[in-house]
């Protein structure tokens, strides 16, 4: 009798631990989805050369993360290294290609979340860290905090041995031109949201999500969007999904976009696609909240959903799918 009771208790315990994967055999299934920003990205405004450049960089990012996942690396590592490729490119509004604030400086935000442990890290308003996503990860792994802002975050990254660069590193002629234009109009440049992000499922069944951005051109000093906000720009939970967002950050914060998709899956049992469609194409669209998300669930289903004319995006999976897209279909 005691034995039967013990067996029942053990089974109940194991079932209730289904999100803790210690008893799961690694599968060979993995998925990596990335974005490089959503907005008014139209074929007619793109030269063939520019389009090739974007496609090549998105592919490089996918292959970097895909390699990590296919070699048994974690979703956290895949997300981190994939985002570093995009941060190091001047094409995207993150790291090297970050846009300029009202003051003509770069203030960057990034965050990362581990769907297995529920831990998270983020930095906001950093000015000297070459790869803000690494700083977000250091906050998660090396501090007791989730969100560090401003100089405190820059100093923390330095102490953790992360690469600190001169502010000149972030100068790119393209972004400076956008800044000059915005300054002349004295208005935010709202048309394109070049935030980058990645979400991944690894062969251990663990999810992770990360996002990195330079924010909006001509944004006010100290303005922070949704990218470093857990629940708004980034969210991951093995029980539901991993999400990274890009768009008009204020709308994404107020609508708690990333977590709302997870909450819909958890509480109403809809699929990841249905949840994303409702939040991005219905809720946000109705209130002119432009942007999109990428998301992957714990079974490997994924979605790239946006309400703008285009979103730089791509996916690579263990099934051999590898796809890069820019415009809406």
Binding residues for its own copies, rule: CB under 8 A, are 113, 118-120, 124-125, 143-153, 155-156, 188, 219-225, 229-232, 235, 249-250, 253-256, 259-260, 263-264, 267-268, 287
Contacts of 281 (CB under 8 A, 6+ apart): 305, 307
Instruction: Compute the least distance from the CB of residue 225 to its own copies, in Å.
Output: 8
Other CB atoms closer than 10 Å to residue 222's CB: what's the count?
A: 13
CB closer to its own copies out of 62 and 147: 147
d(CA 33, CA 66): 10
Residue where the block lists tokens 């992360």: 162
Instruction: Compute the least distance from the CB of residue 110 to its own copies, in Å.
Output: 14
Angle at 96 (CA atoms; ends 93, 100), nearest 5 degrees? 60
Sign, CA torsion 44/98/112/228: negative
Cβ 122 vs Cβ 147: under 8 Å: yes
- Catalytic, 195? Answer yes
The continuous run of DSSP H or E covering 245 comes out as strand 241-247
CB closer to its own copies out of 155 and 180: 155
C-alpha R_g of the chain: 20
CB closer to its own copies out of 63 and 146: 146
CB closer to its own copies out of 143 and 271: 143
Instruction: Compute the least distance from the CB of residue 25 to its own copies, in Å.
Output: 27
Largest CA distance in the chain: 81
Instruction: Compute the least distance from the CB of residue 69 to its own copies, in Å.
Output: 24
The catalytic residue among 101, 195, 217, 317 is 195
Instruction: Transcribe 182-206 into DSSP letters.
Output: HHHHTS-B-SEE--EEEEEE-TTS-
CB closer to its own copies out of 146 and 322: 146
Instruction: Compute the least distance from the CB of residue 149 to its own copies, in Å.
Output: 5
Instruction: Compute the least distance from the CB of residue 31 to its own copies, in Å.
Output: 23
Contacts of 255 (CB under 8 A, 6+ apart): 232, 279, 283, 284, 289
CB closer to its own copies out of 51 and 250: 250
DSSP 8-class letter at 298: T
User: What are the catalytic residues?
Assistant: 195
């Amino acid at each position: 009798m005691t034995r039967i009771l013990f067996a029942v208790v053990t089974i109940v315990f194991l079932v209730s631990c289904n999100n803790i994967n210690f008893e799961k055999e690694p599968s060979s299934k993995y998925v990596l989805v990335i974005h490089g920003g959503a907005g008014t990205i139209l074929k007619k405004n793109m030269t063939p050369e520019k389009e090739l450049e974007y496609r090549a960089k998105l592919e490089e990012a996918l292959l970097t993360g895909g390699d990590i996942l296919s070699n048994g690396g974690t979703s956290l590592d895949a997300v981190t290294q994939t985002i570093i490729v995009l941060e190091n490119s001047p094409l995207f509004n993150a790291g090297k290609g970050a846009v300029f604030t009202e003051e003509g400086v770069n203030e960057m935000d990034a965050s990362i979340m581990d769907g297995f442990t529920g831990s998270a890290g983020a930095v906001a308003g950093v000015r000297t860290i070459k790869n803000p996503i690494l700083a977000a990860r250091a906050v998660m792994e090396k501090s007791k905090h989730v969100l560090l802002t401003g100089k405190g975050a820059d100093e923390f990254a330095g102490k953790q041995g992360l690469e600190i660069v001169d502010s000149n590193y972030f100068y790119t002629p393209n972004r400076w031109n956008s800044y000059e234009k915005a300054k002349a109009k004295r208005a935010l440049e709202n048309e394109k949201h070049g935030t980058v992000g990645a979400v991944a499922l690894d062969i251990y069944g663990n999810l992770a999500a990360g996002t990195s951005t330079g924010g909006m051109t001509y944004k006010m000093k100290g303005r922070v969007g949704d990218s470093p906000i857990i629940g708004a720009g980034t969210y991951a939970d093995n029980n539901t999904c991993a999400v990274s967002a890009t768009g008009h950050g204020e709308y994404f914060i107020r609508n708690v976009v990333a977590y709302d998709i997870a909450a819909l899956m958890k509480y109403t049992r809809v699929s990841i696609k249905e949840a994303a469609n409702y939040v991005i194409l219905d809720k946000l669209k109705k209130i002119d909240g432009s942007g999109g998300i990428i998301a992957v669930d714990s079974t490997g289903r994924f979605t790239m959903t946006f309400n703008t004319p285009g979103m730089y995006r791509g996916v690579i999976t263990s099934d051999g799918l590898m796809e890069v897209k820019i415009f809406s279909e």
